[in-house]
A and B are shown apart, each in its own frame.
Chain A
Amino acid sequence: MITLIIISVLPIVLLYLGLYKAQKALLPVTIVGLLAALAAAVMQWNTNALPIYHGMMLFNNFSVAFSVISIISTILILLLSKGYFEKISSHIAEYYAIILFSLAGIIVMVSYHNLTMLFIGIEIMSVSLYILAGIRKSDFASNEAALKYFLMGAFSTGFLLFGITLIYGASGSFDLDVIRDWVVTHPRNIDPLFYTGIMLIIVGLCFKVGAAPFHFWTPDVYEGAPSLITLFMSTVVKVAGFAAFLRLFSACFSSIADFWTPVLLVITIITLFIGNITALYQQSFKRMMAFSSISHAGYLLFAIVALGAGSANSIFVYATAYSIASIIAFGGLILVRQQSGSDNFEGFNGLAKNNPFLALVLTISMLSLAGIPLTAGFIGKFFMFSGALAHYNVWLVIIAVVNAIISIFYYFRIIIAMYFRSAERAEVEVPAYYKFVLGFSAIVTVVIGVYPALISTLI
């Protein structure tokens, strides 16, 4: 709870700092504040929390783990943003503040215990994101991204809200425990309205996490938004979406899994194929990452399709691996783009010659995203495959294997461009902040890959 309070107060402090033109203090204050929030979250660990505020929120280990990964990712992203926002616009304090407001929404999303809080969390997060996507207000693509995201997002929130209403109508409550009890005590006569509600909630949440066939907004929005905002959306926001998804379905609907599993199974398979096959044809690295993030959403859905005791762990490990690898990838992209001025694969040609460090960390990131052993990404995929196989979804796993093979093609394009293609280019300058963030993320990726027991037993 203290975490949420800190993260809510912090942006207001930042806005005042902006008012008094204390630009230099913005980043340090933000980081210190987030570290305090992180510490507060860690203190909550294993305290056997009970629902608070009449069952509105529950800060259990699940919430703590996902809060921690969200806060750490945000810190890393904000470190990358030093010097980045200044170039885009002069209202820097507002950007930090809006990102933190969005983070506050995310904290609510991973610790709700009542469907109204889920809705409020998603709205706080989304409204902030609509602004962030359009932050380059003179840029056409950025405006398009914001408008598209807003329209689609509002539309999907409508579905979600409608679903919540129908579930309330059937079960008589917004509280997760009450809904679960209602489902368990009425196994034979569940209202069709309730099933409709589940379907609508699935649609709403799939919109938010960018799963096919509700993914159409992702590529344009991801491409149009500034790279760091794209990074924030495709890591922290997506992870929070999945945490919320899992929390709802494992808490309330696990006993009627037979009803919704086939639906999600189809969504998962479509998501995997659409994400991977479209990513193959991209010429822009940023767009490729957008589509590959769709396919990662497919892998993350595995944990919900094969709902079980290990699901939370699987999502946590996969999300951590994916977020950290994406941070490296986008960090590298921003640096390369500053030099070459384009997001295309060609911009990476011959990078390894003058920037061995940058090439190495990007390689680790690509290997992790592709799921090669000794990186965190492999551990994530391994957990997902194990979970799905344990539910006898052999075909799902075989489809996933085929997709993992396809993904090699486009992830290795970057490695090939960096190492095996040559181009006349000067050294890309890597600022110290970037060195720290990229190096730290690469080390974490390898350490989790070698010794996953560090984080795989948390939840």
Chain B
Amino acid sequence: MTVSILLLLPVVAALLVLLFKNEAAKHAALLFSLIELGIVVYFLIGFLPDASVQYGIDVPWIAQMGIYFKAGIDGISMVMVLLTTVLVPLIILTTYKHEYKNAKAFYALILFMQAGLLTVFTALDGFLFYVGWEAALIPIYFICALWGGENRIRINIKFFIYTFAGSLFMLVGIIYLYLQTPGKIYDLHSFYDLSLSLTQQNWVFWAFFIAFAIKMPLFPFHTWQPDTYTEAPSAGTMMLSGIMLKMGIYGVIRWLIPNAPAGFLQWQNLVMILSVIGVVYASLIAFNQKDGKRLVAYSSIAHVGLIAAGIFAWTVQGVQGAMIQMLSHGINVVGMFFIWDIISRRLNTRDISQMGGIAKVAPNFSIAFLIIVLGTVALPLTNGFVGEFLLLKGVFNYNIWFAAVAGLTIIFGAVYMLRMYKNVMQGETNELTALFADISGSEKLVLGIICVLIIGIGVYPQPILHLSEAAVTNLVNTVSAKFVNAGY
């Protein structure tokens, strides 16, 4: 068994889903995504949490250009693969109460996107990484633009151009690294072995950084994000925020910092400042949002800013915190967007000010909503806490002031999230909310799973931390050794 099964199955599944009738497509898609999850669980059982790459595959692709189909799973990839394969079936389940036009195309695109995402998270070859990166972008563009809201055409072309522009610069960076390798090969580890001059590393750093910063998105590259998230169909928003933005974060850990360590060190302060600004800026904007989905979109920028700051601090704790926070944020944000999907489907609006009192009429819904809010604001014993604690510790080790400012995210987050909860759920019911039906069926199932995950990971995060610990430690130390060796 190699990782190739994991990458091929969603592609095959996407094609097969197209053969089904529109009504049956969601069941087929769910089935395939569960099979994918089953394979990952099987991988997980046999997985040794050391720093090695497992289930690897390495076959020539375009041999004359030094391009190989080389992929494998180490601790860092494992967490990302787990995130993707757990969230995709959940996201498909969230769509069970929707009636999409041309549903089979919708589910086929989601499965195809999963293949692209998994390729990004497991690729060990620069060319393969880039192909996966774009292969994930095309389906999400069509998902957002075909099934999105009113302004979808303009907003999605902006989104596409933004991310495509970033990734083309990354492509130039990848080709540049390839040309420097002695054996003319796109292999990631031969990129790691290069010793480039500081100027070269600066170029490489920016080529990669812009691509990743746009994807995450990091302040000031975030302008596409709130509109795109708001206009996309909720399953698309979940794919974007739950999984796709992690491509950028993963890219920083795996492709940016190790490939240009000196360049990174040169700009470390700047990118830390950008991340911290993003945290505060997005939180402040989130305060004033009336649209619930938009509020969550901005809170996502704030959370990602903190994750980025933790990584840029480049300590084992910071990166470990980022790993677990990527998983937690994925779960929480999917839960949060699903909550808003449920509300907007029942009330036909997302305007917070028009709501109130839903807790009285929908007790199950209110419990799930509360748990997800608590997870998002990082209350101890929820999944958000573990990650944010480690991240802040990482930032603290870098600079106490940055940590102090970035720490505001927890306070800010608590304020706007709890205020949102209060306005929507508590108080007296009004005409609009009096007839709010409680959750049922697939909604209950999805929110139940999410709540279990939030509390489960919050109480006992050790297995997940353990999964990536060796790989993260190894990577951080290898790169830090390069700082020392080169005398930076």
A residues 400-459 in Cβ contact with B at 8 Å: 401, 404-405, 408-409, 412, 416, 419-421, 451-453, 456-457
A390 in the interface (beta carbon within 8 A) = yes
- Among residues of B, the one whose C-beta sits closest to the C-beta of A404 is B168
Contact of B138 among A372, A397, A401, A420 (CB under 8 A): A372
CA gap between A413 and B176 in the complex, in Å: 32
> A385-B175, A398-B172, A409-B157 are contacts. A457–B138 as well, Cβ < 8 Å?
no
Contact of A401 among B62, B64, B146, B172 (CB under 8 A): B172
Q: Is the CB of A453 within 8 A of B153?
A: no
Q: Is the CB of A405 within 8 A of B61?
A: no
Q: Is the CB of A420 within 8 A of B145?
A: yes
Complex interface: chain A residues within 8 A of B172 (CB): 385, 389, 394, 397-398, 401
Q: Is the CB of B175 within 8 A of A412?
A: no
CA gap between A216 and B178 in the complex, in Å: 39
Q: Is the CB of A453 within 8 A of B179?
A: no
Q: Is the CB of A420 within 8 A of B175?
A: no
Q: Is the CB of A408 within 8 A of B131?
A: no
A35 in the interface (beta carbon within 8 A) = no
A351 CB → nearest B CB, Å: 14
Q: Is the CB of A456 within 8 A of B64?
A: yes
B287 in the interface (beta carbon within 8 A) = no
B1 in the interface (beta carbon within 8 A) = no
CA gap between A374 and B133 in the complex, in Å: 11
Q: How large is the interface on B (under 10, 10 to 19, 20 to 34, 35 or more residues)?
A: 20 to 34
Q: Is the CB of A452 within 8 A of B62?
A: yes
Q: Is the CB of B161 within 8 A of A367?
A: no
> A405-B161, A409-B157 are contacts. A385–B171 as well, Cβ < 8 Å?
yes
Give the residue among B168, B178, B203 with the most A Cβ atoms within 10 A. B168
> A385-B175, A408-B164 are contacts. A416–B63 as well, Cβ < 8 Å?
no
A314 CB → nearest B CB, Å: 11
B231 CB → nearest A CB, Å: 12
Chain A, interface SS category: helix
B residues 140-180 in Cβ contact with A at 8 Å: 142, 145-146, 152-153, 157, 160-161, 164-165, 168-169, 171-172, 175-176, 178-179
B39 in the interface (beta carbon within 8 A) = no
CA gap between A416 and B161 in the complex, in Å: 14
Q: Is the CB of A419 within 8 A of B168?
A: no
Q: Is the CB of B152 within 8 A of A412?
A: no
B65 in the interface (beta carbon within 8 A) = yes
Q: Is the CB of B176 within 8 A of A389?
A: yes
B323 CB → nearest A CB, Å: 27
Complex interface: chain A residues within 8 A of B160 (CB): 408, 412
Complex interface: chain A residues within 8 A of B135 (CB): 373-374
A44 in the interface (beta carbon within 8 A) = no
A386 in the interface (beta carbon within 8 A) = yes
A residues 194-218 in Cβ contact with B at 8 Å: none
B158 CB → nearest A CB, Å: 11
> A398-B172, A405-B164, A419-B146 are contacts. A372–B62 as well, Cβ < 8 Å?
no
1/0 per residue, CB under 8 A from B, across A297-317: the answer is 000000000000000000000
B130 in the interface (beta carbon within 8 A) = yes
- Among residues of B, the one whose C-beta sits closest to the C-beta of A367 is B138
A residues 346-395 in Cβ contact with B at 8 Å: 367, 372-374, 378, 382-383, 385-386, 389-390, 394
> A373-B134, A398-B172, A405-B168 are contacts. A453–B161 as well, Cβ < 8 Å?
no
> A419-B145, A420-B152, A452-B62 are contacts. A389–B130 as well, Cβ < 8 Å?
no
CA gap between A378 and B175 in the complex, in Å: 14
- Among residues of B, the one whose C-beta sits closest to the C-beta of A383 is B65
CA gap between A401 and B160 in the complex, in Å: 15
Complex interface: chain B residues within 8 A of A456 (CB): 62, 64-65
> A389-B175, A412-B157 are contacts. A374–B134 as well, Cβ < 8 Å?
yes
> A373-B130, A405-B168, A408-B160 are contacts. A420–B153 as well, Cβ < 8 Å?
yes
Complex interface: chain B residues within 8 A of A382 (CB): 127, 171, 175
Complex interface: chain A residues within 8 A of B178 (CB): 386
A382 CB → nearest B CB, Å: 8
- Among residues of B, the one whose C-beta sits closest to the C-beta of A386 is B175
1/0 per residue, CB under 8 A from A, across B112-129: the answer is 000000000000000100
CA gap between A129 and B63 in the complex, in Å: 40
Q: Is the CB of A419 within 8 A of B138?
A: no
- Among residues of A, the one whose C-beta sits closest to the C-beta of B60 is A453
B376 CB → nearest A CB, Å: 33
Complex interface: chain B residues within 8 A of A452 (CB): 62
Complex interface: chain B residues within 8 A of A412 (CB): 157, 160
- Among residues of B, the one whose C-beta sits closest to the C-beta of A363 is B142
Complex interface: chain B residues within 8 A of A367 (CB): 138
Complex interface: chain A residues within 8 A of B64 (CB): 453, 456-457
Q: Is the CB of B165 within 8 A of A405?
A: yes
Q: Is the CB of A401 within 8 A of B168?
A: yes
CA gap between A282 and B471 in the complex, in Å: 53
- Among residues of A, the one whose C-beta sits closest to the C-beta of B101 is A353
Complex interface: chain B residues within 8 A of A421 (CB): 153
Complex interface: chain A residues within 8 A of B127 (CB): 382
Contact of A409 among B145, B146, B161 (CB under 8 A): B161
Contact of B157 among A373, A404, A416 (CB under 8 A): A416
> A372-B138, A374-B135, A401-B172 are contacts. A390–B164 as well, Cβ < 8 Å?
no
Give the residue among A382, A383, A451 with the most B Cβ atoms within 10 A. A382
Contact of A386 among B65, B134, B145, B157 (CB under 8 A): B65
CA gap between A334 and B134 in the complex, in Å: 31
Complex interface: chain B residues within 8 A of A420 (CB): 145-146, 152-153
CA gap between A378 and B127 in the complex, in Å: 12
Complex interface: chain B residues within 8 A of A405 (CB): 161, 164-165, 168
- Among residues of B, the one whose C-beta sits closest to the C-beta of A374 is B135
B453 CB → nearest A CB, Å: 33
A216 CB → nearest B CB, Å: 29
CA gap between A416 and B142 in the complex, in Å: 10
B170 CB → nearest A CB, Å: 10
- Among residues of B, the one whose C-beta sits closest to the C-beta of A405 is B165
B409 CB → nearest A CB, Å: 33
CA gap between A359 and B135 in the complex, in Å: 19
CA gap between A456 and B62 in the complex, in Å: 8
CA gap between A378 and B61 in the complex, in Å: 15
- Among residues of A, the one whose C-beta sits closest to the C-beta of B166 is A405
Q: Is the CB of A374 within 8 A of B131?
A: yes
Q: Is the CB of B175 within 8 A of A372?
A: no
Known: A373-B135, A374-B134; 10 extra A-B contacts, CB below 8 A, are: A372-B134, A373-B131, A382-B127, A386-B179, A389-B175, A394-B176, A401-B172, A409-B157, A419-B145, A420-B153
* B residues with CB within 8 A of A: 60-65, 127, 130-131, 134-135, 138, 142, 145-146, 152-153, 157, 160-161, 164-165, 168-169, 171-172, 175-176, 178-179, 203
* A residues with CB within 8 A of B: 367, 372-374, 378, 382-383, 385-386, 389-390, 394, 397-398, 401, 404-405, 408-409, 412, 416, 419-421, 451-453, 456-457
> Can you give 8 contacting A-B residue pairs, CB < 8 Å?
A372-B164, A383-B65, A389-B172, A389-B179, A394-B172, A405-B164, A412-B160, A420-B152
> Which 10 residue pairs across A and B have the least CB separation, nearest first?
A373-B134, A401-B168, A373-B131, A405-B165, A453-B62, A389-B175, A420-B153, A386-B175, A457-B64, A452-B62
